[in-house]
Amino acid sequence: MLKHRLATLLAVVLTLLLAAQPLLGLPQLEPPARLVLRWATIIGAFALILGVANLLGHHFRRILQREGGWLYSSLLVLSAVLVAGWGLYPGSKGAAEPAVRWAFEYLLAPAEGTLLALSAFFIVSAAYRSLRAHSAGMAAMTAGAVAVLVFQIPDVQLSWPPAAAAHQWLFDVPFAAGLRGLLLGVALGSLGLASSILLGAWRPYLD
């Protein structure tokens, strides 16, 4: 219980410190706030190691138990070991090591780009499926998207001059209103969540 109380107290004090520094603008609070943020970065780095251990542990288990797709797991473990080895061996330049940079630039980035390139097909398929569902909201969203696309075409703006004004109106009035409403809601939700952590009503950091 004492451990829980101490952890809660620490969380509340540090949250108050980090919230007070930009709000009150007191220069005296800046060094301790910066120190806390540095601690957070260090803890984040350790959490990353924990994450990599979790990932590798899962794939090692799959390889050992010969589960479906274990060959892919072997490839993942091998790639992770090779890239980490290149970046960590004595005398290596870390992330600036040419072999590591090569792996990122010529393997990882193109692979990610290829996957994201599928988005265009997926969005058309999703729009078609949602229109078939006869949902009024989806129809309005698709109509808005099509209107923006069409009104932006230079030929349309030349042949029908009000298109440019309509395009601008869509952005300035309905889209801006929706966006502001959404952001206002998110800000209020964030405030509620942050206050429940600050008041100790919700303690996600305790096991």
Partner 1 sequence: MTLALGLLAAYLLVYLLHRLIRDRRHSRRLGPVEDLPRFPAYGAELGQPLHLSLGTGGVGGAEGGGLATLASLALAEGLAGRSWRSGAPLLISAATGTALALAQTLAARLSRGSGGAEDGLQVRLLGLGGVPYAAAALGRSAREEEALALYAGQFGPEYLLLGESAARQGTALYAGGVQPEILPYQLLTTPHTLMGEELFAAGAFGRGRDGRARLAAADWLRWAVILLILALAAAGL
C-alpha atoms less than 13 angstroms from C-alpha of 169 in its C-beta half-sphere:
7
Cβ 98 to partner 1, closest distance in Å?
22
Cβ 154 to partner 1, closest distance in Å?
24
Distance (Å) of CA 36 to CA 9, 42, 137, 179, 198:
15, 10, 45, 33, 16
Cβ 204 to partner 1, closest distance in Å?
6
**Closer by beta carbon to partner 1, 169 or else 205:** 205
Cβ 202 to partner 1, closest distance in Å?
7
- 202, two tokens: 């919700």
Interface with partner 1 by CB under 8 A: which residues? 23-25, 37, 40-41, 43-52, 54-55, 58, 68-69, 72, 112, 115-116, 118-119, 122-123, 125-127, 129-130, 133, 137-138, 141, 145, 179, 182-186, 188-197, 199, 201-202, 204-207
Instruction: Please give the single-letter amino acid code of residue 200.
Output: G
- Burial class from Cβ neighbours inside 10 Å (0-12, 13-18, 19+) for residue 18 reads middle
